[in-house]
Amino acid sequence: MADTRLIQGRYRLLDVIGRGGMGEVWRARDESLGRRVAVKCLKPLGPQHDRSFAGVLRERFRREARVAAALQHRGVTVVHDFGEHEGVLYLVMELLEGRNLSQLLEDNKQHPLSVPDIVDITEQVADALAYTHEQGIVHRDLKPANIMRLTDGTVKICDFGIARLGHDIGFTSRLTGTGIAMGTPHYMSPEQISGGHVDHRSDLYSLGCVLYEIATGAPPFDLDDTWAVLVGHRDTLPEPLRKHRAELPAFIDRIVLDLLAKVPEGRPADAKDLRRRFTAAARSTAGTERPAVVPAQRQHASEPEHASEPEHASEPEHGSGPEHPSERRLPSWTCGMTTGHKAAGAGTLRPTPPDYTAGITGEWTTGIGLRAPVPVQRPRPERPTPPPELLAVLTSRHNAGLSLGRLGRWEEAGEVHRAVAAEREHALGPDHPDTLASRYEVGFTLSRTGRTADALREFGRVAEGRERTLGPDHPETLAARQETAYVLGGLGRHFEAHQVYAAVLASRERTMGPDHPDTLRCRHNLAFNLSRLGRLEDSYRMAYEVAAARARVLGPEHPDTLVTRYEVAYALGQLGRWQEALQLYRDISAARAQVLGPDHPDTLSARYEVGISLGRLGRSAEALELYRALVGDRTRAHGPADPETLRARHGLGVNLGRLARWEEALAEARDVCTIRERVLGPDHPDTLVSRREVAVGLGWLGRWGDALTVYRQVAEARERVLGADHPDALASRNDEAHCLEQLGRGGEAVELYRRVAALRRQRGGHGG
C-alpha cells in the first residue's frame, strides 16, 4: 500500500491528516467517482497480541463497518466503503472540512466557547445522538476530538461503531491479556468505569463532560492522574459551571449537571428529552439570565474506615485493586492506566497511550500499550489458540463475578471466579494475565469471607505469576503484593506485612513518584501497620505526611485525605493526646457531613470517634448524648441490627457505666451481645467485646460469681479463636484473675497471673 498509494485500485492516498492510537487517516481521492474522501487504515496488531484477539477485532471491524455505513444522518460522519487491502483494514468516509471541538478550544487559547455556540452544538449533537441511539448504537467514546464543527456550521459526531465492538466481547472490563480499556478517562461515565451495564445514557454523561469543557474551558475533573480522574467521575459531584464562569445561563449549568448524574436514572431519559429541555430553556430564558455563583456540592463513595476493638481501631486501605465490599471499586483495568487526552492541548498530562478499542475510526497504535511492556522471562510451551467465543464467554463470566462482589455476595462471587480461573488456566496457561486476574479475584473473595490464610496463599501465587510475566515493578504485580501485605496484617503478622508494604512503597515511589495516589495509599497502609507494631510516633508522623500530600494532590476535603487525617487522629489518641484527637475528629466529621452528607457511613464513623475521645477525656455525659443521637441516626439509616448501629450502642453502654448507671449499662450490654451473637456469631470479636462488657457490669454490681463465669467464657473463646498467647486472650485471663481476687480466691488468682506473665514473656521472646 505504501508503494502504490492506491487501495483496491480506487482510493488514491494523498497525505496523512491524522495519526493516533489505532490507525492513520489519509486525505484521499476516490478515482471512480472523482471526489475527495478520508480513508482510515486499521493496521494489524503486533506479534505481542493474541492471534485470537486479532481475529475477533477484525471480524468486529467488518461487522461494525457495515453498521456505521448504514447510519444516515446530517450529524453523523458518512461512511462510504470499507474492506481489506494487503492485510490492512480500511474505512472510507466523507472528508470533513472544519475543526473538532478540541481544536476549537485550542484555537481559542483554552477559553470557553460562546453561549450561542454552546447552545447550537448541544442541539445538533443531541439530534445526532437521538438518531444513533434509535438505531441501537451507543458511541461510548464521545469526546471533543470526536465532534466536528464544519465550516458551514454543521456539527457531526465521528467514530461510531465502538459501542457494539466493546459490548460484544466484554470490553467493559479490561481483557488483561491485551491491555484493553474503553473510553477516554476525562469523558467516561461512572458505569463505564465500574464495569457496569452501559446504555445510551452513558453517552449523555460523556456529552455532559464535553459541554462542561466547552462552557468552562476545562473538563469536570481536570486532574493530572488517571486514578484521580476516574475516582472523580465515580464519586465526586462536579462543581457547578457558574462557579468557573459566572455569566453562564443557569439553564446550561442545571442541564449539564443533570447529564453528569452519577446514576443513569438521574440523567435525562434520552437525547430527545435533552434536546427538548435544552431548546425550551434556551428560548424561555433568552435575555433574562443574571450571573450567579452556585455553591459546590460533592459526594463520594465510602473509603475503608476504622472499626472498634473494643472501642477504637483503624483499618488499612486496600491496594490498587479490590477494596472493601461497601466501596464501589474501580475495575482492575485501571491499574497502571495513564490519562488520555482531554481537549486542552497545553495540559500537563502524560502522553496518551494507544486505545486498543478506539473503534473502527479510532486511532492507530504506536506500540506503547496501556500496560507496561511484558518481559517474557522464560520460554513457554506452545498452547493451542483458544476460540474467541470461549474467551468472550469467560470475560463475561468474570464480569458477572465482579458484579456479585459489588453486591456483597462474596461466596457466589468466589465460586464464579474459581471456575473462570480454572478454565482460563486450561485455555491460556497459569501465568496468563487473564488467569492471574481471576486468581486475584479469588483471593479477594476469600479475604472477604474470612478465609484469610487461603487468601494469603492465592495472592502470593498471583504476585509470583505477575512478577514472572509482567515484571516486579508492574502496577498489577504491586497490587497483588500490597494485597498480600493486607491479609498478613489481618492475620496479625504485622512485622511481615511491614516488610512487604515497605518494599511495595519503594517500588511505587521509584516507578510512579511519591505523590501518585497508589503510592500514597501504600504509605497510608504502612502508617497503619506501624501503629500495629507499636511504633506510634512513626505511625503518627507518616500519617501526618500522607494527609498533607493527599490534601495537596487531591484536595483537603477529598475522602482519601479525610481517611488519612482520620489515621492521624487515631495515632494521636494512641499517644494519649486525646484533646488533639477530639478536635481533629470533629473537623473530619464536619467535613464529611458537608462533602458526603450527614448520614453517610463515613460521617457517622467520625462522629463515633468523637464519642470515643470524649469518653477518654472523662466527658462521659457529652459522650452519652452523642451516642444516643448516633444510635438513632444509625438505626434510621442502616437498621437496628447493623454492626455499626450495635457499635454505637456499645459506646452508649460503656458511657452509662462510666456515669455509674450500671443497671442500665448491664441491660444495654446484654441486649447488644444477644443481637451480635445472632448476627455475627458467638465467637465474633465484637460479640466477645459485648460479652466482656456484660461481665464488667456484673462485677460493678457486686455479682462477682456471675462475672467470673462470663469472663471465663470470653477467655476460652478468645484462646480457641486467637490462641492462648494472643494479647486479647491474655487480657481476658487477667480479667478472670481479677475476678478471682474479688471472690477471695487469691491463690488461684496469683497462679493465673503467673501463667499470663509467662505467656507474655514467651510471646515477646518470639518477636510477636
- Whole-angstrom Cα distance, residue 50 to residue 188? 27
Nearest to 564 by CA among 579, 582, 544: 544
- Whole-angstrom Cα distance, residue 355 to residue 359? 9
List the 6-7 sheet strands across, edge first: 6-7, 11-19, 23-30, 35-42, 88-94, 79-85
CB-based contacts of 482, cutoff 8 Å, min separation 6: 318, 319, 320, 321, 500, 501, 504, 522, 525
141 is catalytic: yes
- Whole-angstrom Cα distance, residue 566 to residue 543? 9
What are the grid coordinates assigned to 639, written together? 437498621
Q: What are the φ/ψ torsions at residue 371 (nearest 5 degrees)? A: -100, 160
* 40 assigned ligand-binding residue: yes
- Whole-angstrom Cα distance, residue 652 to residue 645? 11
User: Are the C-beta atoms of residues 103 and 18 closer than 8 Å to each other?
Assistant: no
Cis ω for the linkage preceding 112 (within 30 of 0):
no
Nearest to 142 by CA among 225, 208, 233, 63: 208
Could you identify the residue written with the cell 492516498?
13
- Whole-angstrom Cα distance, residue 34 to residue 10? 10
CA distances (Å), origin 75, targets 78, 204, 321: 9, 16, 40
CB-based contacts of 6, cutoff 8 Å, min separation 6: 12, 13, 31
- Whole-angstrom Cα distance, residue 445 to residue 455? 8
Nearest to 234 by CA among 254, 260, 212: 260
- Dmax (CA) of the chain: 110
CA distances (Å), origin 253, targets 188, 250, 259, 316, 433: 19, 5, 10, 39, 44
> How many angstroms from the chain centroid is the CA of residue 591?
21
- Whole-angstrom Cα distance, residue 652 to residue 662? 12
- Whole-angstrom Cα distance, residue 558 to residue 551? 7
| Active-site entry in 50, 117, 127, 141 | 141
Q: Catalytic residue numbers? A: 141
Indicate the annotated binding residues.
Answer: 40
- Residue ranges for the known binding site for ATP are 40
